[in-house]
Amino acid sequence: MQTPSLRLSIPRHSAAAACLFLTSSIACAGVSTSLEDSPVLSTSDVQAEALGQASLPELCSQYSADRGSLGRLLSFPFSAKRNARMQRLGEEWLVRLDAVAFEQLTRSEQVDWILLRGEVAHDLAALGDRVLREAEVAHLVPFADSLVALLEGRAERHLPDPKTVADVLAGASESIEKFREAWNGEQADDQAEGAVTPSAARRCASSVSRLRRDLASWYKFSAEYDPLFTWWVKAPWSDLETDLKDFEKFLEQKVGGIDTSDESLLLGDPIGNDALINELAYERIAYSPAELIALAEKEFAWCDDRRREAAGAMGMGDDWRAAQELVRSKHVAPGQQPALIRELSDEIVTFLTERNLLEIPLLADESWRMGMMSPARQKFTPYFTGGEVISIAYPTGDMDHDAKAQSMRGNNRHFSRATVHHELIPGHHLQGFMASRWANHRSMFRTPFLVEGWALYWELHLWDLGFPESPEDELGMLFWRAHRSARIIFSLNFHLGNWSAEECVDFLVERVGHDRNNAEAEVRRSIQGGYGPLYQAAYMVGGMQLYALHEELVEEGAWTEPDFNEAVLRQNSIAPDLIRAYLRGDKLTRDQPVDWHFQGVAK
C-alpha cells in the first residue's frame, strides 16, 4: 500500500509569509537565482526537447481538441460523411494509443492512458448508437440527404451554385408536403399514427430543429454578400425554414401523438438492459443494473429504520411521514433563503475546519456566489443546485399558490442544512475549484460517479461524524439519503422498461415523501433534462465507492483524513475505481480490470 508523502502547508491567510518563506528557502538551499548561473542549452538540445513525444496529459488534450474540431465542423445530424469521419478519427487514435509503451509510463500517465483509451472506445460505441438511432427515423425525413449535402459542401469549403441550391431547397419543401399528405392519408400501413414511438418522434423533431439551425447559419454566410445567391435562394429558403419549423411540430404532434401544450408531460427514451450494461462498463462499475437496484433497496430499508427512530425521538411514534411533514413546515419566510444559505455554509466550514477533515483554501471559501433559480428551471430542478454559484430554488411572486408552498416546503431549513455542503464546501464548489487547478487535462473524463459521488460521500461521512444536531436534522439528511437510493431504483427501472415515468413519480411521492410537483420535476430532470441514463444512479453509487475507499485507506490504512480527501480532489473527476487503484499503489495494466465489488454503506 502506498503511503502518502508529507505536504508543505502554508497558512492560507498569509500570502506575504508564503513569499518570504519561498525566498528564504531558496537562499538556504544555496540555490542562486541569477540568470547568469542558468545552464546554457545547445540548439540541438532545444530542438530535441521541442520536438519530443507528447506526454499522456498532452495526448488527452490533443484528442479532446481533435474531437472538438470535427464536432464543430460537422455538427449536423443525418450525415454519413460526419459519421465516417468521426469513426476514422477514433480508429486512428486507438492505433496511436496502442503503440504507446504502457509499461514505460509513470503510474499517473498509465491512469491517463486507461482513461483516454476508454474514452475513445466509448465515443466509437456512441457513434454506432447514433447511426442506429438516425436510421430508426430516417424514413421520417426523406428530404434530409439533399439538405445535409449542402452543409457537407460548406464544411469542405465548396462554394454553392445558387440556382442548384434553390432547386434543392424548393425540392425539400415539396418533399415535406408530400410526406405530410401521405401520413395524413391511407397510402401506407407503416405510416399509421402510433407506428413511431413518442420518444423517437421527439428525437427526430430535435434533429430536424438542429438541421434547420445549421442551414440558417449556412444561408447567412452568403445571403446579401453574394447578390446572385440572394436572388436565387432567399425565397425558397424562407419557405423551407417555415416548413421545417412546422414539420418539427408535425413530427411531435401527429407522428408521435404528443400533446405539446401539456407542460406536465413526462416523456423519456429508455435505453434497455444491454445499453445500461455497456454504460456501466464504461463508467468502470462492476455491477449489473439489477445488482445496483438491490444495493439501493438495502440502503432504502436502512433509511426507513432511521426515519422511524427520528420520528420516535420527536414524540411521533414510528410515523416518519408525519415527522417529515412537520420538518417540511420549518422553512424561512420569503426573501430569507439567501441568508439561510450563507449561515449554513459558514456552519459546515467551521465544522470541517475544527475537526481538521480537509484543507479549505481561503479563495475557495471566499469566491462562491449566489443566484436565484427561475420558475421555469424549477420545473426540472425543484431544489437548489451548486458549484461556484449556488442557484437557490425558492418561489417567486408570479408562481401559483400551490407551487409556492411546495417550493418552500421542499427547501426547508433542515433539508437545506443537509445539502448546502453538497453544493458548496466540501461538495461541488470545492471540487470544481480543485479540478480547475489539478490534473485539469482530465476534465474530458468527467464522470458523475465522482462529481456527484464526492458530494454524496460527504453526506454519508458527515452522518457518521455526528453532523445532525437534532432529530429534525436527521430527518433532513435521511430524506436526501432515501432520495439518492430512490434515484437508483426509479431511474434504472425506467431505463430497463420496468416502470413508466408516472410510476417513478408515484414512487417518489409514496416512498420518499416528495410533494407531487417536486417529484414530477425530479423525474422530468432524470428522463428528459439532458442527463445521461446513469446520472441519477451515480449519486449514491459513487458515494458508496468513495465511502468504501475511505474505509480502506483511512480507517484501515495509513492515510490521514485531510491527506486522503485532498488526494482524491487532486485526481480531478475521474472514475473512482481508478482513483482507488492509483492511491493504493496497485499495479496498472492496459486492460485494467473492472472488478471492484464495493459494498453498500448501510450497517
pLDDT tens digit string along 283-300?
999 999 999 999 999 999
DSSP conformational letter for 385: B
Residue 19 has pLDDT above 90, yes or no: no
Helix intervals (H) in 74-106: 80-98
Closest among 193, 55, 64, 166 to 119, alpha carbons compared:
64
Residue 4 has pLDDT above 50, yes or no: no
pLDDT band with cut points at 50, 70 and 90 for residue 44 = low
Enter the C-alpha cell of residue 353: 475546519
Closest among 531, 532, 545 to 574, alpha carbons compared:
545
**What's residue 211's pLDDT?**
98
pLDDT > 90: what percent of the chain?
73
Residue 547 CA to residue 541 CA, distance in Å, equals: 10
Residue 509 has pLDDT above 50, yes or no: yes
Residue 293 CA to residue 479 CA, distance in Å, equals: 18
Residue 102 has pLDDT above 50, yes or no: yes
What is residue 45's three-state secondary structure?
helix
Q: Stretch 65-81: mean pLDDT, rounded?
A: 96
Residue 588 CA to residue 580 CA, distance in Å, equals: 11
pLDDT band with cut points at 50, 70 and 90 for residue 334 = confident
Least confident span in 351-355, 372-376, 492-496: 372-376
Neighbours of 362 (CB within 10 A): 12
Residue 262 has pLDDT above 90, yes or no: no
Closest among 19, 495, 323, 113 to 487, alpha carbons compared:
495
pLDDT band with cut points at 50, 70 and 90 for residue 185 = confident
What is residue 34's three-state secondary structure?
coil
- Which amino acid, one-letter code, is at 378? Q
Enter the C-alpha cell of residue 166: 434553390
Reading phi first (left if > 0) and then psi (alpha if -120 to 50, else beta), residue 169 is in alpha
Residue 173 CA to residue 531 CA, distance in Å, equals: 34
Residue 217 has pLDDT above 90, yes or no: yes
Instruction: List CB contacts of 4: < 8 A, sequence separation 6 or more.
Output: 558, 559, 560, 563, 564, 567
Residue 12 has pLDDT above 50, yes or no: no
Q: Stretch 540-560: mean pLDDT, rounded?
A: 97
**What's residue 43's pLDDT?**
66
Enter the C-alpha cell of residue 163: 440556382
Residue 404 CA to residue 335 CA, distance in Å, equals: 13
Residue 497 has pLDDT above 50, yes or no: yes
Q: Phi and psi dihedrals of 370, rounded to 5?
A: -115, 145
Residue 395 CA to residue 372 CA, distance in Å, equals: 10
Q: How far are the Cα atoms of 214, 455, 547 from residue 559, in angstroms, in the given order?
A: 53, 20, 14
Residue 377 CA to residue 369 CA, distance in Å, equals: 18
Stronger pLDDT, 315 or 392, i.e. the higher one: 315
Closest among 549, 533, 340 to 424, alpha carbons compared:
340
Q: Stretch 412-430: mean pLDDT, rounded?
A: 92
Stronger pLDDT, 116 or 373, i.e. the higher one: 116
DSSP H or E run through 169 = helix 162-184
pLDDT band with cut points at 50, 70 and 90 for residue 149 = very high
Residue 325 CA to residue 316 CA, distance in Å, equals: 11
pLDDT band with cut points at 50, 70 and 90 for residue 564 = very high
Neighbours of 587 (CB within 10 A): 8
**What's residue 46's pLDDT?**
61
Q: Stretch 234-258: mean pLDDT, rounded?
A: 96
Residue 487 has pLDDT above 90, yes or no: yes
**What's residue 5's pLDDT?**
35
Q: Please spell the DSSP secondary structure of 437-494, one letter per residue.
A: TSSGGGGGG--HHHHHHHHHHHHHHHHHTT---SHHHHHHHHHHHHHHHHHHHHHHHH
Residue 507 has pLDDT above 90, yes or no: yes
Q: Stretch 266-277: mean pLDDT, rounded?
A: 93
pLDDT > 70: what percent of the chain?
88
pLDDT tens digit string along 115-125?
999 999 999 99
Q: How far are the Cα atoms of 313, 323, 545 from residue 398, in angstroms, in the given order?
A: 39, 30, 43
How high is the mean pLDDT of the chain?
88
Residue 25 has pLDDT above 50, yes or no: no
Residue with cell 459558514: 346
Residue 594 has pLDDT above 60, yes or no: yes
**What's residue 9's pLDDT?**
35
